Amino acid sequence: MIEIVNLHKYFGQTHVLKGVNLQVNKGDVVVVVGPSGSGKSTLLRCINRLEEVQEGEIRIGGENILSKTADVYRIRCEVGMVFQQFNLFPHMNALHNVTLGPTVTKKMPRRDAEALATELLRKVGLSGREHSFPSELSGGQQQRVAIARALAMEPAVMLFDEATSALDPELVGEVLSVMKQLALEGMTMIVVTHLMGFAREVANHVVFMDDGLIVEDGTPKGIFENPKTDRAAAFFSKIL
Amino acid sequence: MQNLINKFHEFLPSLIKGTQYTIEITVLGIILSTIFGFVFSQALLSKRKLINRPVRILINVVRGTPLLVQMFYVYFVLPDLGITLGALEAAVLSLSICYGAYHAEIFRAGIMSIPLGQWEAATSLGLKHHQILRRIVLPQAARIILPPLGTSCIILLKDSSLASVITVRELTRSGQLIASTTFENLTVYSMVALIYILLTQLLALLVHSMERKYRLK
Ligand SMILES: Nc1ncnc2c1ncn2[C@@H]1O[C@H](COP(=O)(O)OP(=O)(O)OP(=O)(O)O)[C@@H](O)[C@H]1O
Ligand SMILES: [Mg+2]
């Protein structure tokens, strides 16, 4: 469903992605792990074209999203993104945060969008908080609103960039359980996280990135228990 | 006392006429300078040198010269270049460009104060640049933009008095004319000052109510 071929990304002179290849099938939950600076966030950001790519291909459902003629705005609707810092819109309540995308980019009638948003907020366990502003919500609640906001675009794939890293430990669980539920429903997900427990339990595909390359690619069991590279072995021995 | 009230009645109609011009110049000046300021700020924020450089130069020129000189330039020099403007138009144009330059910096700073994450989140929802600006960035930046913008507009109101020098019969000029024939300097200029205070207070109230509207919950 998503096919990344020989992806290269430079920030000026800095070569950050050095030929990444990745195949993601429909319904896959891919966990991306790797040391800081290895290019995990950059990879995710390329998939919804938040970053310009210098070389390579990213295919979503057969369409090369990097081609000059690709409609970048439509592609972004296909790809939901959840950020480490939530990035909710602080001047809008939870409901309005969720309805913004559908009403503005998909021209969905307000009433339909509100029905959808109410349903999605219920799904992430926030019924009754529709009219709360982000500043009135805990970090975990904010991140769940952010997930609902991304789901409102009815994306084909969801990207999570360290979605729980900014949360107090006791709030991590509520966000993880929403992610787990999404995975069970068959959502295609690419998840950058340091939580190996989540990877073992939910992922069916794990990749280990190092210095701009995917150096290990396999099942959670295979990768955690029998890493092929020393670099991955060293990383897991620290983190597990 | 009766004498003072009589003088008051005698001078007021002419001062009110002047006040109408002052209000006209100020309202047009605020609207145009805000439009210019916004457009200039977008140019300043553009990554393209061909767009941001000329505007940066214009702003530096405007900030580096007195408004009165700019007014003379528009009123007396532009006709030599084939552009002849009435005194009122010249006053409005020079105020708008001058304050447009100041407002550009206010808009730029306000827009830049909004975290990049807001742009990215909105971008990832498929919003276009102008939609993000209008729905996400400006409503939040308004909190930061409005106080200095309001102050700047109040100074614009007071600087509309410079139009008197290029013969516009606004409030200050009206006062001058009365004072020069009646020699009632104290009464006339006190009345002029009071009217300015009234106008600036009204403007300040307006700004304040707009600020309240954009306060975060
Ligand atoms: N906007 C940018 N300009 C220049 N360099 C950048 C930019 N963004 C990222 N980089 C560089 O690209 C490399 C990869 O960064 P990236 O954020 O993708 O790493 P990461 O794997 O997500 O790390 P972390 O675990 O710390 O989040 C780093 O060396 C970083 O310094
Ligand atoms: Mg990162």
ipTM of the complex model: 0.94
A100 vs B contacts (CB less than 8 Å): 122, 125, 127, 135
Burial code of A171-203, b = ≥16 C-beta within 10 A, e = fewer?
bbebbbebbeebbeeebbbbbbbebbebbeebb
Nearest to A76 among B115, B126, B216 (CB): B126
* pLDDT higher than threshold 90 for residue A128: yes
pLDDT score of B8: 86
Nearest to B140 among A83, A91, A104 (CB): A91
Task: State how far the Cα of A194 lies from the Cα of A209, in Å rounded to an integer.
Answer: 12
pLDDT score of B2: 81
* pLDDT higher than threshold 60 for residue B175: yes
The protein residue whose alpha carbon is closest to atom 1 in ligand 1 is A11
* pLDDT higher than threshold 90 for residue A240: no
Residue of B nearest to A47 (CA): B124
pLDDT score of A160: 97
How many angstroms is it from A190 CA to the middle of ligand 2? Answer: 13
Inter-residue contact A100 to A146 (CB < 8 Å): no
Q: Locate A118 and state its tokens.
A: 């109410």
Does B125 contact A50 at a Cβ distance shorter than 8 Å?
A: no
* pLDDT higher than threshold 80 for residue B15: yes
The protein residue whose alpha carbon is closest to atom 25 in ligand 1 is A36
pLDDT score of A236: 86
| Chain A CB within 8 Å of residue B123 CB | yes
| Chain B CB within 8 Å of residue A73 CB | yes
- Beta-carbon contacts of A189 under 8 Å, excluding residues fewer than 6 positions away, are A28, A29, A30, A157, A158, A159, A160, A179, A182, A183
pLDDT score of B216: 64
Nearest to A48 among B124, B127, B217 (CB): B124
| Chain B CB within 8 Å of residue A132 CB | no
Q: Which of residues 79-118 of A touch B (CB under 8 A)?
A: 79-81, 83, 85, 87-91, 100-101, 104-106
pLDDT in tens, B54-113: 999 999 999 999 999 999 999 999 999 999 999 999 999 999 999 999 999 999 999 999
Q: In the structure, what pLDDT confidence band is assigned to residue B217 with cuts at 50, 70 and 90?
A: low
pLDDT in tens, B123-174: 999 999 999 999 999 999 999 999 999 999 999 999 999 999 999 999 999 9
Q: Locate A180 and state its tokens.
A: 């787990």
Nearest to B26 by CA among B201, B158, B172, B206: B158
How many angstroms is it from A162 CA to the middle of ligand 2? Answer: 7
Nearest-ligand number for the alpha carbon of A209: 1
Nearest to B136 among A80, A89, A149 (CB): A89
Question: How many CB pairs (< 8 A) connect A and B?
Answer: 67
As to burial, measured by CB atoms within 10 angstroms (0-12 exposed, 13-18 middle, 19+ buried), residue B78 is: middle
pLDDT in tens, A5-24: 999 999 999 999 999 999 99
Inter-residue contact A9 to A53 (CB < 8 Å): yes
pLDDT score of B137: 97
Task: Name every protein residue with a CB atom under 6 angstroms from any ligand 1 atom.
Answer: A 11, 14, 16, 34, 36-42
Count Cα atoms within 13 angstroms, Cβ side, for B146: 19
pLDDT in tens, B176-189: 999 999 999 999 99
pLDDT in tens, A139-156: 999 999 999 999 999 999
Instruction: Supply the mean pLDDT for chain A.
Output: 94
pTM equals 0.90
How many angstroms is it from A36 CA to the middle of ligand 1? Answer: 8
* pLDDT higher than threshold 70 for residue A67: yes
User: Which H or E run includes B29?
Assistant: helix B2-45
Best residue for ligand 1 mutational test, from A14, A160, A235 (most atoms within 8 Å of Cβ): A14
Does B126 contact A101 at a Cβ distance shorter than 8 Å?
A: yes
Longest pairwise C-alpha distance within chain A: 55
3-state secondary structure at position A125: coil
Name the CATH topology of B2-215.
MetI-like fold (1.10.3720)
Give me the percent of chain A exceeding a pLDDT of 70: 100
Does B123 contact A50 at a Cβ distance shorter than 8 Å?
A: yes
Residue B107 Cα distances to A55, B101, B138, B175, angstroms: 37, 10, 9, 35
Residue of B nearest to A98 (CA): B125
Q: In the structure, what pLDDT confidence band is assigned to residue A239 with cuts at 50, 70 and 90?
A: confident
How many angstroms is it from A200 CA to the middle of ligand 1? Answer: 26
